[in-house]
Structure formats: C-alpha cells, structure tokens
A = this chain, B = another copy of it.
Amino acid sequence: MTRSVNTPPLQFRDIDEVADALRDAGGRFSATRRLVLEALFAADAPISADRIAAATGEGGARLDATTVYRILERLEELGVVRHVHLGHGPGLYGLTRDGGREYLVCDGCDSVTALDPAQLDPVRALVREQFGFEASFTHFPLVGRCAACAGDHAPGPAASAGHGHAH
C-alpha cells in the first residue's frame, strides 16, 4: 500500500476542456482535432480510427487515417482517450470520461457487454488477494462464454466447426 492516488479527476467533460489541456501541454488545437473530438464525444461506444475518419468525412474532406491515429495517440497521452481490443479487429477508442468502462466479450456469439467498473470490483478484489495483481478490463476484455453460449458447447478445445466465428 504505497500509494493512495485513485484516478485523478481528469474529467474532460467537453471539447473545450480538452482544447485547454492540449494547449497546456504545448500543443495546438486545430479544426482537425476538433473533428476527431466531436466524433469521440458523439459516440456512445468505443469506435475505430477508421470510423472516426469516416465520421469526419460527413461534413467535408475525410481526415487521413494517419492523422486520426496521431491525434488519438496524443489524446491517450493526455488521458482523454483510451483504446480497447475487443477481438481480432482494430483497436476501439473511447473517452476516459465515460467511466472507463470494462468489457465482457463472448467467444461464442461475439456479443459485447459494457460494465460499470464497480461491477467488477469484487472480481478485482479477489484477483488482488490471490495474486497481488491489480486487474483491469479496459484494455483487454474479460473473454469467455455468455450464459446463452455456455450451454451450447463446452469452452474446451475443438471449438470450431459450425459456429461461424473464427478467432
């Protein structure tokens, strides 16, 4: 128990707060960055860099993917954004102010369940007790089989044919 820090405020409630943070860090706040932030603030779930680029294209020239990745990188450094890998596809980016949601992903039907971090606190506590390990399901989800799929066939090996999902 060396520390007591517990996720600093870092709210970033709106785009202007992010703009300030960007400038405070010696950066600039361009129209381009505003577009990316608008896409992020508009999204209700984490989205890919490509989808962000597409969103920016709706009202004008679509931003280049490179630019989007670079902006997201900067925003992650500032703690505004975080990305999660929910499967084999592209990383998905979301605002940290959205509570740092954690995820359950079903191996069988690929369904994604977003949880409030508090819901996983008992699990986290157990893992901490047993392994001295502070678990987080924000970057990689908790993977397994949802109730529906668990009854389908066992989670063991040889889980392939006839299920239409490949990992």
Which of A131, A145, A152, A153 has the largest count of B CB atoms less than 10 A from its CB? A131
A147 & B130 in contact (Cβ 8 Å cutoff)? no
- Chain B residues whose CB sits within 8 angstroms of the CB of A6 once the complex forms: 154, 156
A133 within 8 A of B: yes
Residue of B nearest to A150 (CB): B134
Count contacts on A: residues with CB < 8 A to the other chain: 56
- In the complex, how many angstroms separate the beta carbon of A91 from the nearest chain B beta carbon? 9
Given A3-B151, A79-B158, A140-B141, also A127-B134 (CB < 8 A):
no
Q: For the complex, give the distance between the alpha carbons of A144 and B139 in Å.
A: 9
A59 within 8 A of B: no
B139 & A134 in contact (Cβ 8 Å cutoff)? no
B-facing residues in A117-164 (Cβ within 8 Å): 119, 122-123, 126-127, 130-137, 139-147, 150-161
Q: For the complex, give the distance between the alpha carbons of A77 and B151 in Å.
A: 20
Tell me which of B5, B132, B143, B150 contacts A139 (CB under 8 A). B143
- In the complex, how many angstroms separate the beta carbon of A84 from the nearest chain B beta carbon? 10
A interface with B by C-beta (< 8 Å): 1-3, 5-8, 10, 76-80, 82, 85, 96, 100, 104, 106-107, 113, 119, 122-123, 126-127, 130-137, 139-147, 150-161, 167
